[in-house]
Amino acid sequence: MTTPVLEARDVTMRFGGLTAVRSVDFTVNAGEIVGLIGPNGAGKTTFFNCLTGLYVPTEGTVSYKGTVLPPKPHLVTQAGIARTFQNIRLFANMTVLENVLVGRHTRTKEGLWSALLRGPGFKKAERASEERAMELLEFIGLAHKRDHLARNLPYGEQRKLEIARAMASEPGLLLLDEPTAGMNPQETRATEELVFAIRDKGIAVLLIEHDMRFVFNLSDRVAVLVQGEKLVEGTAEVVQADERVVAAYLGEPFEGDPGEAEAAEVEAAEAAADATSTTSSTKGEAQ
Ligand SMILES: Nc1ncnc2c1ncn2[C@@H]1O[C@H](COP(=O)(O)OP(=O)(O)O)[C@@H](O)[C@H]1O
Ligand SMILES: [Mg+2]
């Protein structure tokens, strides 16, 4: 008895002559942690952007709990899908608590006038929001830093805070784009525990990752994207044993971190692509 939470049907995304995602069918069921892997440039982030309404897919549909989603980010969030970004996006000059409160605004019913007049309804809603935000900060282990500015947190904690902010919209599905990028092994292990704990709260998780060990440890199912197409999908054992996957990753070790050198190389390549791309502003927004 599997209940689909997310269903992507025949999703294709083209940028001019380039097909970044090609006819991808993809499902995440309730209670699942699903991994999405693939070499750099495979189309993983583009696919995420199609799921979250940042891009309108050239073809195909995305449904959440049986309803087709309108391709608008705020409507997707409202429906129950939250995400984090490959590059951290926090409000650097806001406090930790404020960052989580920002994530809650899609779930608070108080309107503009109520907020401006700061009537009793607003104050009550504000108190409830703050309580919920503090619960989330306790959950990720950052409650003691509620009043610190986001920019002063170490990198690993900024990543955690992003997850708390995403959870503040009370999602049924959480999408994580490379959550362990730039983390040291201890931070990666802590993130693993955190993802299991999120799943245990009844939130389905879809994660894009570069760190193979992390993905295979966590995921009930793994899908492999290569050149925009879904090559294989299955349990960690099935995917690891597939020769096509091994071939696609030839030269990229299956175990451990991509390493700092490679991360720097990727950053440089992305910066170069940004500089030459005519759609660099859209791309920058969507990463
Ligand atoms: N906004 C865009 N405009 C044009 N091409 C893009 C855009 N976003 C991504 N691409 C291209 O789509 C392909 C897939 O990129 P991406 O989804 O970022 O891959 P991944 O996340 O798997 O590394 C790449 O060739 C990339 O250059
Ligand atoms: Mg990416």
CA dihedral 163, 167, 173, 175 (to 10 degrees): -20
Tens of pLDDT, residue by residue over 221-271, are 999 999 999 999 999 999 988 888 888 776 555 444 445 555 566 566 667
Q: Could you tell me the sign of the dihedral formed by the alpha carbons of 36, 39, 43, 45, in that order?
A: positive
How many whole angstroms from 215 Cα to the centroid of ligand 1?
21
Ligand 1 is surrounded, with C-beta below 6 A, by: 15, 18, 20, 38, 40-46, 273, 277, 279, 282-283
Which has the closest alpha carbon to 163: 254, 153, 15? 153
Residue 287 has pLDDT above 60, yes or no: no
Q: Residue 171 corresponds to which tokens in the numbers above?
A: 């999602």
Query: What DSSP string describes 209-237?
Result: -S-HHHHHHH-SEEEEEETTEEEEEE-HH
- Higher-pLDDT residue of 258 and 64 is 64
Express as a percent the part of the chain with pLDDT over 90: 64
As a CATH number, domain 1-80+171-271 is 3.40.50.300
C-alpha closest to that of 216 among 188, 199, 197, 240: 240
Residue nearest to atom 9 of ligand 1 (CA): 46
Q: Using the 8-state DSSP alphabet, how is residue 153 labeled?
A: S
The predicted pLDDT at position 20 comes to 97
Residue 248: predicted pLDDT = 79
Atom of ligand 1 nearest to the CA of 177: 21
CA 211 to ligand 1 centroid distance, Å:
19
Q: Provide the residue ranges of all domains of the chain, joining segments of one domain with +.
A: 1-80+171-271, 89-165
**pLDDT tens for residues 66-101?**
999 999 998 999 999 999 987 788 999 999 999 999
Whether residue 16 has pLDDT greater than 70: yes
Q: Across residues 127-144, what is the average pLDDT?
A: 94
Candidate from 129-133, 251-255, 282-286 with smallest mean pLDDT: 282-286
